[in-house]
Structures are given as C-alpha cells and as structure tokens.
A and B are shown apart, each in its own frame.
Chain A
Amino acid sequence: MKEDILILIVDDDEDDRKLFIESAKEINEGIAFITASDGQEALRRLKDGHNRLPDYIFLDLRMPRVGGRKCLEEIRSDKRLRDIPVFIYTTSTDVKDSIELREMGAVHFITKPIDPGDIYYILSVVLDEKWGQLNKKGV
C-alpha cells in the first residue's frame, strides 16, 4: 500500500527496536519499519536516492560511531531530509538534552518508557494526525 506510514527506527539496542515495532504493529498493521543500528547506517540509507524516505524517524542518542546528535545535525542540514519529523527516543531524562535537541530541530524528546505497553500510547499520540488521516481513508 502506497499510503502506509514508513518509520525509520535508529537504535543500537536490538530489544528496543523489536519492542518498538511490536507495539507499533498493535496500532496499525499497515505501519512499515526500516531499522538502522547506528547513525552512520541510518544516514547511508537516508542519503541513498533509490530508497523511499521514511515519514518519521525515531532516533536514539547514544549509539556507537555516529550518535543521535550528529545524525540529527546531518538530517537537518540535508535539503532532501530536513522536513522529515525526527523524534529523539532515548533513555536520557536530562532536561538539558531535551532542550538542546529540540533547539536542534527534533520534534519531540521521548524518554523510553519502562513498560513497553506505553510505547503504544506514545506512538498513538505522535502519529495521531497521520493516523487519523489514514483512518479516514479507510486503510
């Protein structure tokens, strides 16, 4: 389906990627995922013109090689990528991080929930607009 939502999840933690995808699938089977295990891999994928661009990016902060901060910077400075909403999705609870990253252009700063059930609610809120549109279209 062309109007599927495509989400890129960038996280070095395999469990977190899995939990995230499972929870999101509970919302809508139609959401498609691509994953990257660090910023470098994510950027390589994003900059390859052959690939479809994701509708949303969920970005972990602390990752090997290219971390979330650097990755966000690169996304914001690339004309093709800069309009994709980026959500920071991290263990950090640091308010300073939160303020800084939103100043850098992140849409939201989300602290990874303890209960994976909460991912469902977070995603529902985050995707609400698009999700509503999808529903109307009867996907």
Chain B
Amino acid sequence: MNTAAAEDLLSKMEDLKLRLSEAEEAIDAIKNGSVDAFAIRKDGKPEVFTLQSLDYAYRVLIEKFSEGALNLTLDGLIIYSNSYFSKLMNVPNEKVTGSYIFDYIAGESHQQFREYFDLALQGSSKTEIMLCAKNKNIPVYVSLTNLQPQLATIGMIVTDLSEKKQNEQLIKIHAETLWKKNVELEHLNKSLDQFASIASHDLQEPLRKIQTFTALLKRQCNKTLAEESNELIDKIKRSSERMSLLINDVLNFSRIVHIENMFVKTDLNQILSNTLKDFDLLILEKDASVRVENLPVVEAIPSQINQLFYNLVGNALKFAKIGKPASITISSRILPSEEAENDFNSRFNLDKQLSYSEISFKDNGIGFEQQFAEQIFSIFERLNNQEQYSGTGIGLALCQKIVQQHHGGIRAEAKENDGAIFYILLPLTQSANVVAN
C-alpha cells in the first residue's frame, strides 16, 4: 500500500469519525429534547428537517391560532411556520419553511426589524412593523422570544393589525370630522353672538332716536298740540318702549347660552331676598304677601338664578287677580329619587347620581289652562293680550334656558283663574363627586 493511498484512507476515516460524532451529538440532542429540527445545507441552500412526532399536540394547537407563529434559527431561518402566517403572506407553507424571515419584512421596516431581532437574541422584544406580502404591505405586531437555552431558536408571534389600523383610520377620520364640525359650530355660535349684539345695538340705536325725539316733541309742543295729537305721541312712546324691551330681552336670551364654568356654591335664599328687594314697590302696590321657606345652597350661576327668580316672582305679581291681594309661596324640598323618573320629571334627563332640589313658586293669580303648561316656555309665546298684561313673551323661555343651562328642569301646573305653580329642579351639585354643604 503506497503512502498516498494510506493517507487518503486516514483522512476518510477522520471524516467518518467526525460525521459519526456529529450524528451521535444529534441523537443525543433528540434524546434530551433540545432539538426538534435540523437545517442541513444542500447545494448551498438550507434544507429543514423537523421531527413531527415530538410535539404534534402543540403544532395542532398552534395551527388553530389566529396569529402567525414561527420558529426561527438565530440567523433568521424559518424552521417552522403555522399556516396562518403563510396564508397571511400568501405563500405556500412549504415555501415559507426554509426561507429567511427577513424576506417577508417590508423595506421600510427592515432596519427596525433587524434591531428588534438582535434585541431578541438577548432575551425578547416586541414592535410594530410592516410585512410585505404579494403586492401589499400588512401592518403587524411582532413579539420575538429567545428560546435558549432549551432551544437555539427564536419564537415569533405575528399579529395582523390591518383591521385595527383600519379602525384607527376610521376613528381618526371621524375625529377629524367631529373636530371640523365643532370648529364650525363654534364659529356659528360666535357669529350668532355677534349677530345678536350687533342687531340689538343697531336696532336699539334708531329706536332710541325715535324715543328721544318723541320726548323732545312732546316737551316742546305739549301745550300747543291737540289732545288727540298728544295721545298719538304717547302711542309712539309706548310702542317704542315695548320694542326696546323686546330687543333687550332677545339680547339677554342670546347671552344665556355662552356662559361656561361659572358655577359656584350659591345660597338661593340670598338670591331670592335680593330679587324680592327689586319688587318692594310692586309688592306694596299689589298688596301682595310673599312667604319664603328655607331654600338650599346649590352649585349655580348666581346672575342667571337671579334672572330666573326675577322672572318667576315678576310673573306671579303681574298675573295676580285684580282686586285680590296676591299671595306667593316659595318653598323647596329635596326631590326623592323615585320621583326623578316619574311622568313629570323623566323628560328632563336627570342624572341619577345627583341629588335635586325642587323649588316651587305658587301664586293665587289668574293661572291658565293646564293644556298650555308646556307651550308657555316657548319663546314669544303669550297667553294673554298685550293690552292687559305687558311683556315680550321671552320671560319663561329665558327661565327654561337658564334651568337647562343648570342641567335641571322647569314645569308648571295651573288652573284657569285659580293660580299657578312653577316647579324648578336644580341639581345640588353639577357633578357627582362634589358634595355641596
């Protein structure tokens, strides 16, 4: 045997020894469960062999996932993919296995995925990236977990975010529309506010002139004018006074809406006593008796409550019966919770978490038919003629607007010729977490 042949045999033996030890190692690895797939290079391409019997039960479960589940070697070779992932990528499952995960990452996410993959080599990582399926990109959430030391692989879970992103997009579009509408609305509100103030100023201006010159005319010609002409002048004066009142009331009405964040603890007794002072003279004139019971402290806008009380007391005096002393009783009670949803109060959409005070204004005046009890709160609505009872028909509409602003309610009970009761519901606090004293 020549030396060359002997050396060749020796080297073949070395090679066989090496392969044997590799095979023994593999068998050991299979025995102790640390490996369930082999990647073998064949013709320069990796080929993956998996031991299907080992973890059959888990594979079945994983196949049922509605998320992609993959097992990757430490250099990113896919040694297992469930069918969800291959369907998501629109690639046959057998082609996915044996390919590299990086082939499925969209260009824009490549670098990012690389970084998170490297992070996962140290432990685990999670991120949102774009996958690249056939002619479309898919937003996904990936979670990478290093399975070492048990396995020299990385587990990867892929969650499809397409629907979530679509929803987010929809929400964004809705939010934008809402925002636009809101801006429009604010704009409209502002214009309305401006309109009310300009209209009332511009209407008021010539009207004041009419009043001024009527007054001058009357003063200058009082004695020289015929009585009839004087009466005509008085008519002009009265009409323009009424017009002026109307303009001011419309303006007040339009101002109610725009006050925000002005709620303070308000002692209703104090407001009412101030209101009643304004009526001192009229109360004397009408020989009226006003009985006031204790009223609560509520979170309210004092100036508006003052207007509310002013209108209600004013109405009670205005609509008193002629020749009979007016009697007004103002009282309050805490509304029992079971009454918050009765026929009377259900339409006010009261907040179940809040306590309400029911304040009643009772008079013995001319009253009205109960069928008109809702209509009276509409703007410009009047039940009595102008000659007998002056007014603009805005007072009760204003009252309603004020209580609405306070998230309460107002209603009336009355009989024709037999007095009226106005009930106001006001929450003691404007939100459930504040307790009024």
Residues of chain A whose beta carbon lies under 8 Å from any beta carbon of chain B: 13, 15, 19, 62, 91-94, 112, 114-117
Majority SS at the chain A contact face: loop
Q: Which residues of A contact B251 (CB under 8 A)?
A: 94
Chain A minimum-CB-distance residue to B198: A62
| CB atoms of B211 and A114 under 8 A apart | yes
Q: CA A117 – CA B201 in complex, angstroms?
A: 22
Q: Which of A13, A93, A112, A114 touches B215 (beta carbons < 8 Å)?
A: A114
Majority SS at the chain B contact face: helix
Q: Which residues of A contact B208 (CB under 8 A)?
A: 91, 112, 114
Q: Which residues of A contact B211 (CB under 8 A)?
A: 114-115
Chain B minimum-CB-distance residue to A22: B216
Is residue B269 within 8 Å, beta carbon to beta carbon, of the partner chain? no
Q: CA A104 – CA B104 in complex, angstroms?
A: 68
Q: Which residues of A contact B204 (CB under 8 A)?
A: 91, 93
Q: Which of A19, A62, A93, A94 touches B212 (beta carbons < 8 Å)?
A: A19
Residues of chain B whose beta carbon lies under 8 Å from any beta carbon of chain A: 197, 201, 204-205, 208-209, 211-212, 215-216, 219, 244, 248, 251
24 sampled A-B residue pairs with Cβ under 8 A: A13-B205, A15-B209, A19-B212, A62-B201, A91-B201, A91-B204, A91-B205, A91-B208, A92-B201, A93-B204, A93-B248, A94-B251, A112-B208, A114-B211, A114-B212, A114-B215, A114-B244, A115-B211, A115-B212, A116-B212, A116-B215, A116-B216, A117-B215, A117-B219
Q: Which residues of B contact A94 (CB under 8 A)?
A: 197, 251
Q: Which residues of B contact A92 (CB under 8 A)?
A: 201
Smallest distance from the beta carbon of A64 to chain B beta carbons, Å? Answer: 13
Q: Which residues of B contact A115 (CB under 8 A)?
A: 211-212, 215
Smallest distance from the beta carbon of A19 to chain B beta carbons, Å? Answer: 7
Q: Which residues of A contact B244 (CB under 8 A)?
A: 114
Smallest distance from the beta carbon of A91 to chain B beta carbons, Å? Answer: 5
Chain A minimum-CB-distance residue to B211: A114
Q: CA A19 – CA B211 in complex, angstroms?
A: 13
Smallest distance from the beta carbon of B222 to chain A beta carbons, Å? Answer: 13
Q: Which residues of B contact A112 (CB under 8 A)?
A: 208
